[in-house]
Structure 1
Amino acid sequence: MKDIVVLNREDVDSFWKLRFDLLKELGEICSDINLIELEQSTKTFFLSSINKNLICYGVVENNEIISIVSLCLFDRIPYPENLKGKEGYILNVYTCPGFRRQGLAKLLLQEIIIYANSHDINKLWLNSSEYGKYLYSSLGFICKNDEMVLMLKN
């Protein structure tokens, strides 16, 4: 039996495991990355943010989280399309390989959309791989290719 749950502080290890698997699958884990530091930073962020400015849903089967989605919440200066300025960035969409193609990610994204609607969040956005575009389009997301990024070293 699969259940949808809202992740809490006690899910920090499962969150890290799935996030690590996602980053590894995306090719973002390389030999020069300090994995201990990444794990500690990720867990610290999760523990300080969960159910505040970070909302995570998961699918649980046999007491194990097998699929996950995260929503980072933030406020920005209102603009014509979003007069409240409340936005949510969706990330960390991941399903363990043995459970894919069962609609789990879609169920979790639908939960995120319900959450956003009930919390006056007017804009949800994400970055998508080619693999995920069909799923996101089926839920009403549209492609906008105008993002630019500047990474600063601290």
Structure 2
Amino acid sequence: MWIIRRALLSDLDTLVAMRIAFLEEVNNSGDGVAEALRSYFLEMLPSKTYLSWLAIDEETEEPIGTAGFVFLDKPPSGRNPTGREAYIMNVYTVRHWRKKGVAAGLLDSVLQGAQAAGVGWIRLHATDDGEHLYRSRGFTPTATERILKLLPREE
């Protein structure tokens, strides 16, 4: 069995390792980002700009999954009177724990945390493996977002 708890600054090494594992699995690009990730989490966790949860194996006390979100504060609108949005990122489960409800538990914790923080809208980019889970929680795809890479520009 496993438990879910909020990640703390003392979990820094775990968050970095799991983010790198996620990046390597999703797009084979986890090289050279460890220090940048450490700096990111060192800044964002204490300021509570990024909130994260860990799933922990109760028997071994080892981390087996993570998920988190970063706040996106936008001007209020009719659709979102608070203007507060969030972006879910790094939903990751160690391979041999997959299909056992860990990601669902993490996602539910993230959604509860976002709701408690007054988030009006929450967004994410889904992998093929996660699509069913997100749809089961009410996420719907959109066709309006566009993305432009600014740095570093590849020639």
TM-based fold match above 0.5: yes
Structure-2 residue corresponding to 1:7:
7
Report how far residue 136 of structure 1 moved. Answer: 0.2
Q: CA RMSD in A?
A: 1.4
The equivalences for 1:22-101 within 5 A come to 22-29=22-29, 33=31, 35=32, 38-50=33-45, 52-61=48-57, 62-101=60-99
Q: 2:77 & 2:137 partners in 1: Cα distance?
A: 24
The one-letter code of the counterpart of 1:153 is L
| Partner-residue secondary structure (3-state), 2:143 | coil
| Partner-residue secondary structure (3-state), 2:4 | strand
Which residue of 115, 121, 132 corresponds with 1:117?
115
The one-letter code of the counterpart of 2:52 is C
Q: 1:74 & 1:129 partners in 2: Cα distance?
A: 21
The one-letter code of the counterpart of 2:43 is S
Identify which range, 85-94 or 57-66, moves more after superposition: 57-66
| Partner-residue secondary structure (3-state), 2:79 | coil
Q: TM-score, normalised by structure 1?
A: 0.91
Identity, in percent, stands at 26
Structure 1: runs of 5+ lacking an equivalent: none
The one-letter code of the counterpart of 2:77 is Y
Report runs of 4+ in structure 1 exceeding 6 Å deviation.
Answer: none
Report how far residue 70 of structure 1 moved. Answer: 1.1
Structure-1 residue corresponding to 2:149:
151
